[in-house]
Chain A
Amino acid sequence: MKPFAYVRAGSVEEATDAFAARPGARYLGGGTNLVDLMKLGVETPAALIDITRLPLDAVEPLPDGSLRVGALVRNSDLAAHPAVRDRYPALSQALLAGASGQLRNAATTGGNLLQRTRCPYFQDISKPCNKREPGTGCGALRGVHRDHAVLGHSPHCVATHPSDLAVALAALDARVELYGPEGGRSLSAADFHRLPGTRPEQDTEIRPGELITGVLLPAATAGLPSVYRKARDRASYAFALASVAAVLHCSDGVVDRVGLAFGALAHRPWRARRAEEALLGVAPTAAAFEHAVDLELAAAEPLGENAYKVPLARRLALDVLGRLAPVSPI
């Protein structure tokens, strides 16, 4: 392995300064993905800025009813937090659907969002991958791609984003809080990850040196019925084949708030805006759900081996929306 420097940061500013001072640096949180990638030779950082001592490990209710989750809150702790379980059940369910108990104990909120695809071509440095090494081509496109994207992919990359957490955050209208050389800012969780386009090496909208400091769960979706459901090859410790997070609220017999996001279908959590638009203001019937979900998935372009993902995502979404509907949909 390539030798690297190690710096332990005492504050957010110290971390971002250290990052700026060392080209090729990476922030180190739980290390559950970064360290693996270093072993594989996919990541070869010149320096690791250890951020695990930063004071970003709290879950704080804010006066406006929102909930701020520090970037270093461990996945297990976040899943078990009473406020999360009570007010954002889809988030707790998504976390518990991810990885294994040991990994959840180590993995952080910020790190979870920044984990890389598990595409086997990305992980194997002897094979082409535009995400790992721009311009080398996409191995998955001509290789094995049962687990790959059906939405929003490009000829340059067909990888999916592996996070469960991010899918729930997208549906819940969460925001990702960042701090960097130009100060603090926040992005909608649904827009934090990118589609690959011609630059698959760029997973997210994060700028060089920016650090995720936290995630803000808005008051608007607090306490609304929400569900996360994931289909996978085995009952635990497997990435999603497809997953859905949904938030649904109705009043006077019509949908007045809905958030729907798919996981494992695209290079980012797929916020189903078209489906949401179709549902707002209409009665939560089975036919309305089907119409909305089909509208969203009409954009799907399966690669061949992964065609099953489209009906799988459709059925997951209909199941989840059906469960969230105030009366059993007809």
Chain B
Amino acid sequence: MTGTTGTETVLGAPAERREGREKVTGTARYAAEYDGPARAHAWPVPATVARGRVTAVDAGPALALPGVLAVLTHENAPRLAEPDDPILAVLQNPRVPHRGWFVALVVAESLEAAREGADAVRVAYEAEPHDVTLTASHPDAYTPENANGGYPAVREHGDPDAAFAAAEVRVDVEYRVPPLHNHPMEPHASTARWDEGHLVVRTSSQGTGPVRAALAKVFELPEERITVSAEHVGGGFGSKGTPRPDVVLAAMAARHTGRTVTVAFPRRRLPAVVGHRAPTLHRLRLGAGRDGGLVSLSHEVTTHSSRIKEFVEQAAVPARVMYAAPHLRSVHRVVRLDVPTPSWMRAPGESPGMYALESAMDELAAELGVDPVELRVRNEPAADPDTGRPFSSRHLVECLREGARRFGWAARDPRPRSGAAGALLIGTGVAAATYPVMAAPSRASAWALPDGTFLVRVNATDIGTGARTVLAQVAADALGVPLDRVGIEVGSTELPAAPLAGGSSGTASWGWAVHEACARLADRLTTLPGPVPEAGLGAHADTAGQADAESRYSRHAFGAHFAEVAVDTVTGEVRVRRMLGVYAAGRILNARTARSQFVGGMTMGLGMALTEGSHLDPAFGDFAESDLASYHVPAHADVTDIEAHWLQEDDPHLNPMGSKGIGEIGIVGSAAAIGNAVHHATGIRFRELPLTPDRVLTGLLAHEAPPGTFGG
């Protein structure tokens, strides 16, 4: 590791985001801001029934408005080949699979005209009865083959039922996590044009490669005739991990009108069309000996998906890796309802799953009278409990110990309700975190230029994480040159092919290829007889076969979350006073951007615990909360004191940088730490998120006064 930024090694240094200045000064351009000549705008028309079919569309009033160029419907829109993802089959048939599904698109000279046109389109429906209500006992629930991520829906070791029945101590509890929404700052948007049979697209996506592949499929084009770029992306949190209807609609409208067309989804349309975290109903059964050792662990999850696509939130998967329970069951069931199609949201599976598992572990600790940190330590497995493989590295215990030390856990009075301060009840809680290590094959090229600088090219996507910056650090490190001599190009399918930013795998995947290309270039430079030629000197890498090679290790990042809350006994309001996370996630490649990822994840976990959640409206079939005034992400005032720390973890079984993904683990378990703190504060177990005043006050009242009495 020879690269430097002066005094520190370049890998791990807190280098500033390369595009930071452009972003804060407003000069960074996003997908909807590419204002080409004669650009038109399009505005979607959502279905207003939850299930049924379109029987007629009257576009006349819209087409009569000044500036309206076209109204696309299932009757006149360009025909698409069948996409892999059914949500992209827009305007192809009259079926309405859920409320908010797009039934028309109005293209106009201006955004205002498109919007006015969309209001003027008259759509008639044949509505059918709908069902959007998930219950664990729903008659249509079934066990799928796989959950999201390709995980088997069911895994079972031993005889969990018998072991549970025979256990000395038992916890049998249910938890509920509501639908959650990604709501990135930049809504989903695409600008498309057709240039002599070549489709050129600017889009807001976590990966332009998958977008191009999807467009190639539906428009039946070779990928070479499509260019997709995403230079800046204002967040995605999973909702831009797969292509969304905006890009297909923009390309369709551009083809239909012969114009450059921008489709930027209004905020209120997002919940219906960009995926959401499906609600999950959890049943946890933990059986343990008096010594705290788990003998049986069952995690059963019921979730929903839409009529058009089976997406199963893999919430029982983390139970397969966390604790040494000889009898272990993890099961997913799903109910197909007339709901929008769920999809990825930051740490799909782990996030709701670890809320439930880590809450149940806290209940078990209380049942046993064992410190919750200690209970986890006692159940530390020697190898992966599901696969039996050794862990490539696992420092959960160290995270718990270090977190406890930093947080001041030892001084905690374990008795519930022991921390009253006037009308406030103060409590603290802990939970563990985990996230799998993933990587996918990537290509990259590295160039030495005659002026002494270097250029790295890779179709990575920087969705605000700092990927550009970190990859330049990887390159500088491998080349052994100062960081400021390395330029980098990302965010276009014109660059060497690379996977999307998702699954906390972007940096590992892209960085691996960047490292290889730069190492090769460094070799070539050492043997170069003369100066760098005018055209530059290049080296290329393709990690296929390496990055996706089966490992004999079980590879996961781990972490520990600690939280202190204050519960107002007058109102039931819960506020987090401080949060602390400690992570073991391999080598940290940029201290500044990594901290931002951890703190961001923890903040999102705070939202999941206390403020975020939406309701599927049984009467109308859509999400009742569709804007940022009603869907409550934490405000600054909610986020007062958050610390993220990490351990130095050396793991030789990962990638050349020695890094694990860090984009998601911050949200995993943080909601449980807060929920456990609320229990410590109040002595009450709340098993449904979010912990809003209506729920908490209701619990406090039941605690104070016998049921049936007024007030209290």
Identify the A interface with B (CB < 8 A): 1-2, 40-41, 100, 118, 120, 124, 126-127, 139, 142-144, 146, 231-239, 241, 294, 305-306, 308-312, 314-316, 319
Contact = CB atoms under 8 A, between A and B. Distances in A.
A2 B112 CA distance: 9
A235 B638 contact: yes
Interface residues of B, number: 41
Residue of B116, B573, B575, B626 with most partner-chain A CB within 10 A:
B573
A120 B112 contact: no
A308 B571 CA distance: 10
B619 A143 contact: yes
Contact of B619 (A139, A241, A305, A315): A139
B625 interface: yes
B694 interface: yes
Given A1-B116, A144-B617, A294-B711, A233 B624 contact: no
A10 B360 CA distance: 66
Interface of B: 46, 48, 112, 115-116, 119, 268, 423, 570-573, 575, 610-611, 615, 617-620, 624-626, 629-630, 632, 634-638, 692-695, 697-698, 701, 710-712
Given A235-B635, A235-B638, A237-B635, A1 B115 contact: yes
B619 A312 contact: no
Contact of B618 (A120, A143, A308, A311): A143
Contacts of A118: 629-630
A139 B620 contact: yes
A120 B625 contact: yes
Contacts of B711: 294, 310-311, 314-315
Nearest to A230: B571
A128 to B, nearest CB: 9
B712 A311 contact: yes
A32 to B, nearest CB: 11
Contacts of B573: 231-232
A127 B570 CA distance: 36
Contacts of B619: 139, 142-143
B642 to A, nearest CB: 14
A153 to B, nearest CB: 17
Contacts of B637: 234-237
Contacts of A236: 635-638
B630 A319 contact: no
A127 B571 contact: no
Nearest to A41: B119
Contacts of A126: 46, 48
Nearest to B118: A41
B423 A319 contact: yes
21 contacts: A1-B112, A100-B635, A120-B624, A120-B626, A143-B619, A144-B615, A146-B694, A231-B570, A231-B571, A233-B693, A234-B634, A234-B638, A237-B637, A294-B710, A294-B711, A308-B694, A308-B698, A312-B572, A312-B697, A315-B571, A316-B570
A10 to B, nearest CB: 28
| 7 closest A-B pairs by CB | A235-B637, A236-B637, A231-B571, A144-B624, A308-B694, A126-B48, A236-B635
A118 B627 CA distance: 11
B630 A231 contact: no
Contact of A143 (B620, B626, B638, B712): B620
A319 B625 CA distance: 31
* Interface-central residue, A100, A144, A146, A294, by most chain B CB under 10 Å: A144
A124 B621 CA distance: 13
B618 A234 contact: no
Contact of B570 (A146, A310, A319): A319
A234 B571 contact: no
A311 B112 CA distance: 46
Contacts of B692: 233
Contacts of A319: 423, 570
A63 B570 CA distance: 40
A238 B625 CA distance: 13
B626 A231 contact: no
Contacts of B268: 40
Contact of A235 (B112, B116, B572, B575): B575
A183 B192 CA distance: 57
A96 to B, nearest CB: 11
Contacts of B712: 311
B323 to A, nearest CB: 33
A235 B692 CA distance: 11
B215 to A, nearest CB: 30
A48 to B, nearest CB: 15
B116 A143 contact: no
A238 B624 CA distance: 16
B237 to A, nearest CB: 19
B570 A143 contact: no
Nearest to B119: A41
B315 to A, nearest CB: 24
